[in-house]
Structure formats: C-alpha cells, structure tokens
C-alpha cells in the first residue's frame, strides 16, 4: 500500500530520464530490497492490495474511458466497460474469492520407498515481476497481469505503451497514489525505455504484443535467464463447418471482428468456409454491420484505428491484395482523417500476399473456401500455431475432430473472443503465438515458484542404503527394482 518514500523514488512515473537503464536498475533494486523485507505476504495483505487496485481503477472509470477515447480518437465508453472493466472485475473478484486457497501448500505423494516422509508444494512469491503492456487494451492488459502478480505476493514494474499516452499517464498517476513505488511502479517512455525495461533481470517478465517484438523481448530476457510469459498474436483462424448455422456464425464473427475495430490479438484473422457460401456470408455481414453500426459515418460506437501509421498499413494490405487479384467487399466507408476503417471482407486473396501472411490486427477479413473438413484442417495445420481458433459447428464429430486435430492457444466453439473471459480458463499462446499463460489460478502459478518441499520423518530407513554398500544394499536395490 501507499507509504512515504525517499525523495529519489517520489519523482513522476512519467519522467523519462537521460539514462533509462540506470533509473530502471535503481527502481528494480528498490523493489527487490522491499520484497526481501517481506518475502511472503499474508493473504490479508495481498487482499488489501487487490481491493486497493480495484477501488482506484473503478472509482476512476469515467476518466480512464475518456483517456482511452482521446488516445484512439474514438472509442465508445460502453466498449471500454465491456472489454476492459468487466473482464478486469472478474479477474479481481476471482482472485479475492480463491486466493487464500491458492496460497495453501498442496500435499504430494512421496512413493512407498520414502515413507513415512512427507511432500508438499509451497506456492512462493517470485519477487519482482515485469509487465509490458500493448496499446490495444491498455487497462485490461496492464491490470490483469498485475492482479495475478499481487495475488501471488509479488512486487511489480509495468511498462505502458507510448501509443496511448493519456491512458498511460493517468494509469501511472492512479497507481502512484495507491502503491509505494517500491511495491508497484508504472514506467512510461518510448521504445528505448521499453528495450531497457525488457533487459532488466526480473524474476518473471510478462510481455503482450506482436510476435516480432516478442522475439526481441525473449532475446533480451535470455541474457539474464529471466523466465518469460509471451502473449503474442498470429493469424487466428475460423472454421465454419458444413452443418453450421451460417447467419449465426456471421453475426458472431462480426461482433468479434468489429470489437475495438479488430485491434485485438485474438480477433478472427481469416475464415475457412464451405465453398459456395462466400456470397451468402458477405450478404449477411453487410446486413448485420448496418444493423450494428447505423449511419456509420457518424456512428460513435465504432473504434478508430490507433494511429495514422496503422491505418495506412491496413489500407496497404487491402490495396496489395486487390492488386494481386483479390476482391474487396467493404461494409462501410473509410476516413483517413478520423481513422475510421469499416470492415472489408476479402475474397480470392493470394496465399503469398501480406494480407494472408501477416497478422492483420484490424477489420480486414479474408474468406478461404474449402471442399472438405480434411482440407480445412490441413490449411490450419500447415501454418504457425495460432493464439485462438474458432469453430462454428453443431455436429459433435466435427467439434471433436477440430478440437483434437489442431493446436492453438485457445479455442471457442460457436463463439468468438469469449474464451478469454471465462474465469476458469488460462489465457496464453503456443509456439509462435506465445508461451505460458495467466488469468485465474494459472496466473497465480505463473507468478509463483511452486516450491517442492520434502520433510523426512524422525524414524526413517535412509541409513539402510548408505555406504559401505554390500549384500544388504544389493538386496534392497533388487527389491526396489522388482516389477
């Protein structure tokens, strides 16, 4: 909780020092020293920290929503509430409800030859956690890992994105009012600060962002053998089964693709659908989008693209695909001045176009027709393992096959995005889409050392297998190895 601090730690979290690494080293050292003074906080202390975090963020909901709206150029308050605060509240509530139980040691078997000894796993705080936050969901992706780190009893340093300066500044101010800087500290700055931050010898580093930057973060962490959780991206596929309710599938997918204007790491990236259903898909999408966002040019519910550079990138992906023979089916208008980019469904995009190779991270949605489910599965499995996979099917055999014959960070059946909000499910990638997971109990474990502890009984047989070795030990070994 907030305490008086020495003057050198009282400076603004938004100051960018001339030597960011030196300042970050000093901050990390202070947090580590504070951790060593209190290496195993009680659950009551952890719960107070979680409640303080909840109180300061939720009492400033409107200010945070306004900051995000200003950073994006347009982001509806309702969308911020649903995508940021509802998910975060569930994360905090679950930690408060279950955290005391998560902390308890867990008995483990010792095997018959070590009886009557006892074994247990003791969840132990790691120390100081580093959290690197992207721009697309700046509150949720900063505070949700922080909840896991605090529930596990750690200190934390958080690097916010420079692409959301108002939100990052406000978040830093709120955290600074609530926690001592040697407990939770927010760091703001440009890419050079981010690089210095990733190179710190944290006890654990959680990074959320692109696969490209994830490579750099992992290389930096490797120099210190810092364990990492990487939440990356990739191309999350959708498979629409032959028996699927097409209209329902389109409606659901459109909700997932238009949330935050598709600027979501688990947004659908391309759709595999039975050949011949492309026209019906486009027609339904056009009708549904008009219903969701009437008078699109003036609609205030649709989020803007975060920056001119990102807007231009999306336009370039679409133009390149069209130049190579693809057809673009825009569901609305585009406006570079306001960075409003309506969804575009793309058909006949070449496999080698950037659109089909790169993570889109915006409202472009290629359709890829298939003739058999085997063909669709081969298409998915020939590509890097995705962060998410979506299946629309009511046939149990199709659901079973796709579940067992594909590998993805997470999967939703007849839904889009919602697996990230399921309280009991971990969230994480696999291979190129990431490593490790958090949320709920798995988040607590990620930021804990599950320390194995063996306790020998006062009366034990350990001396029977001590040197000098002889016939007795040979007989015991034979007995132990007997089938």
Which are the catalytic amino acids? 231, 265
CA-to-CA distance for 50 and 468, rounded, in angstroms? Answer: 56
Which residues are paired to 107 by β-bridges? 120
Pairing of strands 388-392, 237-240: parallel
Give Dmax (Cα) for the chain.
Answer: 90
8 A C-beta contact, residue 219 and residue 252: no
CA-to-CA distance for 341 and 261, rounded, in angstroms? Answer: 8
Closest C-alpha to 305, from 272, 340, 264, 343 = 340
Between CA 123 and CA 125, with CA 124 as vertex, the angle to 5 degrees is 130
Query: Directed axis angle between helix 140-151 and helix 87-103, to 10°?
Result: 10
CA-to-CA distance for 301 and 305, rounded, in angstroms? Answer: 13
8 A C-beta contact, residue 180 and residue 2: yes
CA-to-CA distance for 120 and 81, rounded, in angstroms? Answer: 41
DSSP 246-263: HHHHHHHHHHHHHGGGG-
Residues with Cβ within 8 Å of residue 319, at least 6 apart in sequence: none
Residues with Cβ within 8 Å of residue 341, at least 6 apart in sequence: 261, 304, 305, 311, 314, 315, 334, 362, 363
8 A C-beta contact, residue 380 and residue 237: yes
8 A C-beta contact, residue 136 and residue 265: yes
Closest C-alpha to 103, from 447, 474, 395 = 447
Consecutive H or E run containing 18: none
Strand arrangement, sheet containing 184-187: 184-187, 155-159, 128-132, 204-208, 228-231, 434-435
């Amino acid at each position: 909780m907030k305490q008086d601090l020495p003057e050198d730690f009282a400076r603004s979290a938004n100051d960018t020092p001339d030597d960011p690494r030196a300042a970050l080293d000093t901050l990390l050292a202070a947090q580590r020293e504070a951790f060593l003074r209190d290496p195993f906080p009680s659950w009551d202390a952890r719960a107070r920290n979680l409640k303080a975090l909840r109180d300061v963020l939720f009492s400033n909901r409107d200010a945070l929503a306004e900051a995000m709206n200003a950073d994006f150029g347009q982001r509806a308050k309702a969308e911020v509430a649903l995508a940021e605060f509802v998910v975060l509240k569930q994360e905090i509530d679950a930690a408060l409800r279950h955290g005391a139980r998560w902390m308890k040691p867990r008995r483990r078997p010792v095997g018959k030859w070590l009886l009557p000894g006892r074994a247990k796993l003791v969840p132990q705080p790691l120390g100081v956690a580093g959290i690197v936050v992207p721009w697309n969901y700046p509150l949720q992706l900063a505070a949700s890992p922080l909840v896991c780190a605090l529930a596990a009893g750690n200190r934390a340093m958080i690097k916010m994105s420079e692409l959301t300066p108002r939100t990052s500044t406000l978040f830093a101010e709120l955290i600074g009012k609530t926690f001592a800087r040697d407990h939770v500290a927010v760091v703001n700055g440009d890419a050079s600060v981010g690089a210095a931050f990733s190179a710190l010898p944290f006890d654990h580093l959680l990074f959320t962002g692109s696969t490209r930057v994830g490579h750099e973060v992992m290389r930096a962490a490797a120099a210190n053998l810092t364990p990492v959780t990487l939440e990356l991206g990739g191309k999350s596929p959708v498979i629409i089964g032959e028996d699927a309710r097409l209209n329902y599938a389109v409606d659901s997918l459109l909700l997932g693709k238009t949330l935050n204007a598709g600027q979501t790491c688990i947004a659908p990236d391309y759709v595999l659908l039975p050949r011949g259903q492309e026209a019906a898909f486009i027609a339904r999408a056009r009708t549904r989008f008009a219903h969701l966002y009437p008078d699109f040019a003036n609609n205030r519910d649709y989020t803007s693209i975060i920056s001119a550079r990102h807007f231009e990138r999306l336009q370039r992906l679409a133009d390149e695909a069209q130049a190579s023979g693809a057809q673009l089916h825009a569901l609305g208008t585009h406006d570079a001045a306001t960075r409003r980019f309506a969804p575009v469904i793309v058909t006949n995009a070449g496999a080698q176009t950037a659109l089909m190779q790169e993570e889109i991270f915006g409202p472009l949605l290629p359709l890829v027709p298939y003739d058999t489910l085997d063909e669709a599965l081969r298409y998915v499995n020939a590509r890097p393992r995705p962060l998410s996979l979506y299946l629309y099917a009511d046939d149990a055999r199709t659901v079973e096959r796709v579940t067992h014959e594909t590998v993805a960070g997470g999967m939703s059946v007849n839904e889009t995005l919602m697996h990230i909000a399921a309280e009991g499910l971990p969230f994480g990638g696999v291979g190129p889409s990431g490593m490790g997971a958090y949320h709920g109990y798995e988040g607590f474990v990620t930021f804990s050392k599950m320390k194995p502890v063996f306790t020998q009984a006062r009366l034990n047989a350990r001396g029977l297998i001590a040197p000098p070795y002889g016939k007795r030990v040979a007989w015991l070994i034979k007995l132990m190895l007997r089938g």
